[in-house]
A and B are shown apart, each in its own frame.
Chain A
């Protein structure tokens, strides 16, 4: 892990600092928010605006609770903690328990505490946990519930009256998972296991020069840069004149060394023969989306310092990835670093790639016709270089694979579809999760071989 650039990154980036990017997991994934920590940054949870100041200088992995109006660290109990039993809600199967729910009558009269009562408690300074205890004490049915229902009830109230915020490190895994869960269209529906397979199959490793076509907002570029660790290059290439968005790269806490290794280049420049003069002109007036955004001033006040993926409290799954998410979630994290990721690739570097070839190729271009692109860029790889291409549809990859075979450009060609199933593991109640992602995309992999001329 890199050292400088991250301010006081003395603990291998495991403790937050002012200006650091974080992923906030609110109430066990109900809401996921990317934020940049500053003394002025505020986050709205429920109807309260809470300062993120208490999060600065705390270890990643810390859990905070909103009890009253400010976030305070929650010390986990040494025994089993409730978050590990997350999936109790999935099956109410009581285990060796005498109580069952035969006597439970569901008629809205069970709770005697009214909204006004709760407001009154609040005014008198009651914290969230006190309110929860009062709700339980005033519930006519709580005692009749099974232990699991009791826990479920408590958790429901806790989410409302004492929300929890988990501070997580924004790395390829957590960023991919957060987007996949809340805003999958932005990352072309690329699931984390598929991303991991892409990186492995393309042999992404230190000191390699990786050619990337990333039309999934920079997730692939960032994930590759993370694996290069400030060595080699990730060449984010694009068709035409305007680079594709790399918003997500800024969510990673990349050091200057790593940022410097993320460069951009039009595919046309890579394909043109060496000393073609006009291509440098072409790029000069391109508006680098990344730079423009990072220079913009703060029009929205300190709360705008967060890149909210979800605006649907209490509802983690349903209405995301819909159009409204698109509008509400304009990424507004501003880079506050001197070095920007995604500078134009220097001409000497481009020349050296032309001479030596890239070490591998990665493509995630969900909207693009893959075969003509692959046909053109594959010759840019050095011989024996592996490549991995992601697509959410099978047919473009099938066509591409077939044509690569006919053209004898590559061997070891394979289309695979990763399958990922999570399990609930509990004593005597272990089974696959009730919900699973049924689709995480397809990938085509292979190895480039020497053309007949060599």
Chain B
């Protein structure tokens, strides 16, 4: 039976254990792991739904440059499901290109995580920066992400991205990782680590996506990826720094499921993180101006001669870059629950504790990266979130107590 007692089973098993294997013996010496505070996944806790479009660009993020009406435009958009995770590394590349023409001031168009981080990297290099954007970061798509370190999520299609891209990606991912580490332990925890448990009745294996030969169509023929095997898979290149999941012994599994893994995952608390970046931006003399560009030619109206263009998915319409593919995603948000500082995932339904609430996601495990591809309907749908909450409740509460939790 999986119920409230399940959360404590690991503790009980340890206390009563006799012949303990090595890792457990060490734990026994130190005493049992403290029990986890159970999550309340009842419908009354659901206070927000957010929907967002990931800007997947087939060839990977656009970091190219072009000249528009004597302005040097440096692109920095199209980061798929990895915009937060790659923000520092991507900004470093873009700002490096700006610095190479020796400006003393630059413009940044867009104030999502990519634009704002680019602005700060430029300021740290001594440049005066004005951000021109339709919305401040709290109202951008960036604020509607889930917000974990997932640098390889829907970042490119392997073929169109070409053979150079993995190296550039790795540079950006490693650079970002180190920069996030400089933000750990700060007030409000803009960046934090948490334990993430994967729970299952069956052995947990990493899913692979071999190409299905029956699917002949592909991005090159349709403009949209047709199956998972077309996506670039890059995460293994940085497995030396990013914690990998470890299988839990029965006595170590707080949930009492037949199989479980645990990993330490890095995540971003959007309110504290955005506040920190905006504070630094303004303290360094940055200027924010509400401005909506209607066409690429509009950069010619900006006083700055060097412009970093970071409008995310909107670049599809502003710059008319139709290689930007919409990938819809949504999250549900529960009231923050003090003491709950971990995440669980089962059958690709997940609940992840963050400072501004517990994030619920329900991602069909059989679709993988294809979920939401080509879908630009940016209104949330409540039912899958409630389904995930009801399903994950079983790890905490017996059936007759669910909802009353």
Q: A and B, one complex?
A: no
